[in-house]
Amino acid sequence: MKFHGSMTALITPFKNGKVDEKTLGRLVRRQIAEGTDGLVPAGTTGESPTLSHKEHERVIEIVVEAANRQVPVIAGTGSNSTEEAISLTRFAKKAGSDASLSVIPYYNKPTQEGLYRHFAAIAKAVDIPIILYNIPGRAGCSLTPETVARLSRIPNIVGIKESTGNMDQASHILSLCGITVLSGDDSLTLPLLALGAKGVISVISNVVPNAVAQMVDEFFAGNYPKAREIHYRLFPLCRALFIETNPIPVKRAMALLGLSGGELRLPLCAMKPENEKMLIQAMKDYGLKLKGHGR
């Protein structure tokens, strides 16, 4: 299976402190109807750090069921504990996920050899396509291009979500191996596509799935001016959606659109009023119709 195009890093809606299963299923169906090419539940945007193991597994189950094989589901199953990552990845396969998104181990800051052995152990333990997730800003360490190339020789390690914000890093990876590179930064999706990336795992596509899908489709159709036009239209909204730590702004945006409640779990909390004003203005400037400002 190829993993390409516009894939959405789904939010996890909460209601009264619990996962809002009904809304999550509805969001999945909306994504598919709007042209999204893949779904990524239980990642950073899905607030995986504050999901219990039972909730984490249930979120994956709901998305797999709601997607109904219409698009691939790439379940977030990473951990800083190799055994825990293996356990979550095994569950994802059992639940019917098409692939796993496995973040680099956070906080314990392994060496490159440790990172290699971590991902190699997961790939050996679970026969499922694995997409690496390199996000040093959250993890405190980073995969080097050489380690990515080494990991790419393991048959079921098929891709990497690049969230370093470093174009040289992506260029170096692409020059060393044929692994599928996916953008992990919405504002850099178009430049990364130009370098040879195959798509994006997007936050902004929670809000405007059709636009992100269209931008990627136009690029691959060779309509570069149109792709660039969409990029520049999305850019102010993208900046507003990262004005505070993800997923705080995107959950607020979804609430403002009436698509989901904006409930967060501590230690994440509501936006500063001045930042919310900027988000609201960016949404209005884009042309989105807000249904309410209530929390």
Q: Which residues are catalytic?
A: 133, 161
With b for 16 or more beta-carbon neighbours within 10 A and e for fewer, the 175-190 pattern comes to eebebbbbbbbbbbbb
φ/ψ of 294, rounded to 5, equals: -70, 155
Q: Which long-range contacts (CB under 8 A, 24 or more apart) does 143-146 make?
A: 143/104, 143/112, 143/115, 144/112, 145/169, 145/172, 145/173, 145/175, 145/176, 146/112, 146/176
φ/ψ of 75, rounded to 5, equals: -80, 130
φ/ψ of 36, rounded to 5, equals: -65, 140
